[in-house]
Amino acid sequence: MPDSPSFPFLRLPFLAIQNTVHHMSCTEITELSMCSRRSKSIVRSVRCPELFYIRIYLNQKNMSIYVMNRDHVQCSFWTVAMIKRGEKDPSKYRVDTIGGVDVRVAKIQEWGFRIEANENPEKPLKLVVDHLKEVFKLPLKVVLLPDKINDFLRFIPIFPVCKTLLLNGGEAITKEELEYIKIMLLLSIYLTVRFQ
Protein backbone atom coordinates (compact mmCIF):
# COMPACT_ATOMS: atom_id res chain seq x y z
CA MET A 1 0.00 0.00 0.00
CA PRO A 2 1.33 3.44 -0.83
CA ASP A 3 2.62 5.64 2.00
CA SER A 4 -0.21 7.65 3.45
CA PRO A 5 -1.38 9.07 6.75
CA SER A 6 -2.94 6.88 9.42
CA PHE A 7 -6.03 4.89 8.62
CA PRO A 8 -8.90 6.59 10.51
CA PHE A 9 -9.99 3.42 12.28
CA LEU A 10 -12.02 5.14 14.98
CA ARG A 11 -14.09 7.00 12.37
CA LEU A 12 -15.31 3.79 10.74
CA PRO A 13 -18.97 2.83 11.06
CA PHE A 14 -19.43 0.38 13.92
CA LEU A 15 -20.23 -2.56 11.63
CA ALA A 16 -16.91 -2.03 9.82
CA ILE A 17 -15.03 -1.85 13.12
CA GLN A 18 -16.72 -5.06 14.23
CA ASN A 19 -15.94 -6.74 10.93
CA THR A 20 -12.29 -5.65 11.15
CA VAL A 21 -11.95 -6.90 14.72
CA HIS A 22 -13.40 -10.23 13.61
CA HIS A 23 -10.47 -10.50 11.21
CA MET A 24 -7.98 -10.10 14.04
CA SER A 25 -6.47 -12.74 16.26
CA CYS A 26 -7.03 -12.66 19.99
CA THR A 27 -3.50 -11.27 20.41
CA GLU A 28 -4.11 -8.49 17.89
CA ILE A 29 -7.40 -7.58 19.56
CA THR A 30 -5.59 -7.43 22.90
CA GLU A 31 -2.89 -5.16 21.48
CA LEU A 32 -5.57 -2.90 20.01
CA SER A 33 -7.38 -2.74 23.34
CA MET A 34 -4.19 -1.53 25.01
CA CYS A 35 -3.78 1.50 22.71
CA SER A 36 -6.00 3.78 24.77
CA ARG A 37 -9.15 3.88 26.90
CA ARG A 38 -11.14 4.72 23.76
CA SER A 39 -9.78 1.78 21.76
CA LYS A 40 -10.44 -0.49 24.72
CA SER A 41 -14.00 0.73 24.96
CA ILE A 42 -14.56 0.15 21.23
CA VAL A 43 -13.08 -3.34 21.33
CA ARG A 44 -15.27 -4.11 24.35
CA SER A 45 -18.36 -3.30 22.34
CA VAL A 46 -17.49 -5.93 19.72
CA ARG A 47 -18.64 -9.44 20.45
CA CYS A 48 -15.95 -12.09 20.02
CA PRO A 49 -18.12 -15.18 20.28
CA GLU A 50 -15.37 -17.66 19.50
CA LEU A 51 -13.65 -16.82 22.79
CA PHE A 52 -15.09 -18.72 25.70
CA TYR A 53 -13.26 -18.32 29.00
CA ILE A 54 -10.07 -17.16 30.67
CA ARG A 55 -8.04 -19.82 32.39
CA ILE A 56 -5.71 -18.81 35.19
CA TYR A 57 -3.07 -21.30 36.24
CA LEU A 58 -1.01 -20.56 39.32
CA ASN A 59 1.68 -22.69 40.84
CA GLN A 60 5.07 -22.04 42.33
CA LYS A 61 6.89 -22.07 38.98
CA ASN A 62 4.28 -21.08 36.47
CA MET A 63 1.80 -18.25 36.68
CA SER A 64 -0.14 -17.93 33.47
CA ILE A 65 -3.34 -16.59 31.99
CA TYR A 66 -4.86 -18.18 28.90
CA VAL A 67 -7.68 -16.91 26.70
CA MET A 68 -9.44 -20.07 25.53
CA ASN A 69 -11.85 -20.65 22.65
CA ARG A 70 -14.92 -22.86 22.46
CA ASP A 71 -12.80 -25.86 21.51
CA HIS A 72 -10.72 -25.32 24.69
CA VAL A 73 -7.74 -24.24 22.61
CA GLN A 74 -5.51 -21.38 23.75
CA CYS A 75 -5.92 -18.26 21.64
CA SER A 76 -3.40 -16.22 23.59
CA PHE A 77 -1.51 -16.47 26.84
CA TRP A 78 0.24 -14.30 29.36
CA THR A 79 2.93 -15.55 31.65
CA VAL A 80 4.85 -13.94 34.48
CA ALA A 81 8.61 -13.66 34.46
CA MET A 82 9.80 -13.45 38.04
CA ILE A 83 12.87 -11.26 37.86
CA LYS A 84 15.01 -10.99 40.97
CA ARG A 85 16.43 -7.59 41.77
CA GLY A 86 19.69 -7.03 39.90
CA GLU A 87 18.92 -9.73 37.34
CA LYS A 88 18.01 -9.01 33.75
CA ASP A 89 15.58 -10.94 31.61
CA PRO A 90 16.82 -11.22 28.02
CA SER A 91 13.32 -10.64 26.62
CA LYS A 92 12.71 -7.37 24.84
CA TYR A 93 10.31 -5.49 27.06
CA ARG A 94 8.13 -2.53 26.25
CA VAL A 95 6.02 -0.54 28.67
CA ASP A 96 2.25 -0.77 28.24
CA THR A 97 -0.33 0.98 30.34
CA ILE A 98 -2.83 -1.53 31.66
CA GLY A 99 -5.54 -0.34 34.02
CA GLY A 100 -3.74 2.99 34.30
CA VAL A 101 -0.52 1.35 35.48
CA ASP A 102 2.70 0.94 33.51
CA VAL A 103 3.52 -2.74 33.04
CA ARG A 104 6.60 -4.15 31.37
CA VAL A 105 5.43 -6.51 28.63
CA ALA A 106 7.38 -8.66 26.17
CA LYS A 107 5.83 -10.41 23.20
CA ILE A 108 7.27 -13.91 23.31
CA GLN A 109 5.46 -15.64 20.50
CA GLU A 110 2.84 -14.79 17.95
CA TRP A 111 0.16 -15.37 20.58
CA GLY A 112 1.98 -14.89 23.87
CA PHE A 113 3.06 -12.17 26.26
CA ARG A 114 5.40 -12.14 29.22
CA ILE A 115 4.96 -9.65 32.01
CA GLU A 116 7.82 -8.73 34.24
CA ALA A 117 7.26 -8.97 37.96
CA ASN A 118 9.53 -8.65 40.94
CA GLU A 119 8.39 -9.87 44.29
CA ASN A 120 4.67 -9.12 43.79
CA PRO A 121 3.49 -11.01 40.69
CA GLU A 122 -0.12 -10.78 41.88
CA LYS A 123 -0.20 -7.07 41.02
CA PRO A 124 0.53 -7.23 37.26
CA LEU A 125 -1.46 -10.49 37.07
CA LYS A 126 -4.53 -8.76 38.45
CA LEU A 127 -4.11 -5.84 36.04
CA VAL A 128 -3.94 -8.20 33.06
CA VAL A 129 -6.82 -10.40 34.24
CA ASP A 130 -9.03 -7.36 34.86
CA HIS A 131 -8.16 -5.96 31.44
CA LEU A 132 -8.87 -9.22 29.60
CA LYS A 133 -12.08 -9.77 31.56
CA GLU A 134 -13.30 -6.30 30.64
CA VAL A 135 -12.31 -6.49 26.99
CA PHE A 136 -13.55 -9.98 26.23
CA LYS A 137 -16.28 -10.23 28.88
CA LEU A 138 -15.32 -13.82 29.69
CA PRO A 139 -15.68 -15.86 32.87
CA LEU A 140 -12.64 -17.09 34.77
CA LYS A 141 -11.66 -20.66 35.44
CA VAL A 142 -8.85 -20.92 37.95
CA VAL A 143 -6.45 -23.70 38.84
CA LEU A 144 -4.37 -22.93 41.92
CA LEU A 145 -1.69 -25.21 43.29
CA PRO A 146 -0.95 -23.54 46.60
CA ASP A 147 1.85 -25.87 47.62
CA LYS A 148 5.12 -23.91 48.04
CA ILE A 149 3.60 -20.65 46.91
CA ASN A 150 4.61 -18.13 49.50
CA ASP A 151 1.43 -16.66 51.00
CA PHE A 152 -0.84 -18.01 48.27
CA LEU A 153 -3.87 -16.16 49.65
CA ARG A 154 -2.56 -12.92 48.14
CA PHE A 155 -3.55 -14.31 44.72
CA ILE A 156 -7.21 -14.74 45.68
CA PRO A 157 -8.20 -11.08 44.94
CA ILE A 158 -7.10 -11.60 41.31
CA PHE A 159 -10.25 -13.59 40.70
CA PRO A 160 -12.93 -12.40 43.15
CA VAL A 161 -15.62 -13.70 40.82
CA CYS A 162 -14.91 -16.89 38.93
CA LYS A 163 -16.79 -19.71 37.31
CA THR A 164 -14.69 -22.47 38.78
CA LEU A 165 -11.76 -22.78 41.15
CA LEU A 166 -9.73 -25.93 41.45
CA LEU A 167 -7.43 -26.01 44.44
CA ASN A 168 -5.03 -28.77 43.59
CA GLY A 169 -3.02 -30.04 46.57
CA GLY A 170 -5.58 -29.44 49.30
CA GLU A 171 -3.24 -30.68 52.04
CA ALA A 172 -1.34 -27.39 51.72
CA ILE A 173 -4.43 -25.45 52.80
CA THR A 174 -5.58 -25.05 56.38
CA LYS A 175 -9.26 -25.02 57.31
CA GLU A 176 -9.02 -21.31 58.09
CA GLU A 177 -7.52 -20.60 54.70
CA LEU A 178 -10.27 -22.53 52.98
CA GLU A 179 -12.90 -20.59 54.93
CA TYR A 180 -11.20 -17.35 53.92
CA ILE A 181 -11.28 -18.39 50.25
CA LYS A 182 -14.96 -19.29 50.48
CA ILE A 183 -15.76 -15.91 51.99
CA MET A 184 -13.65 -13.97 49.50
CA LEU A 185 -14.84 -15.62 46.32
CA LEU A 186 -18.08 -15.52 44.47
CA LEU A 187 -18.22 -18.76 42.54
CA SER A 188 -20.80 -19.30 39.86
CA ILE A 189 -20.30 -23.04 39.55
CA TYR A 190 -18.03 -24.87 41.95
CA LEU A 191 -14.99 -25.00 44.13
CA THR A 192 -13.01 -28.21 44.01
CA VAL A 193 -10.32 -29.07 46.48
CA ARG A 194 -8.21 -31.97 45.32
CA PHE A 195 -5.88 -33.86 47.64
CA GLN A 196 -2.82 -35.47 46.11
Positions touching another protein (CB under 8 A) are 1-13, 15-16, 19-25, 28, 31-32, 34-39, 49-50, 70, 94, 96-97, 107, 110
Q: Are 114 and 105 in contact (CB under 8 A)?
A: yes
CB atoms under 10 Å from CB of 126, counted, come to 19
What count of Cα atoms within 13 Å lies in the side-chain half-sphere of residue 32? 22
| 117 conformational bin, left if phi > 0, alpha if psi -120 to 50, beta if neither | beta
What count of Cα atoms within 13 Å lies in the side-chain half-sphere of residue 101? 12
Q: Which is nearer to another protein, 84 or 94 (CB)?
A: 94
Q: Are 20 and 12 in contact (CB under 8 A)?
A: yes
Q: Are 133 and 144 in contact (CB under 8 A)?
A: no
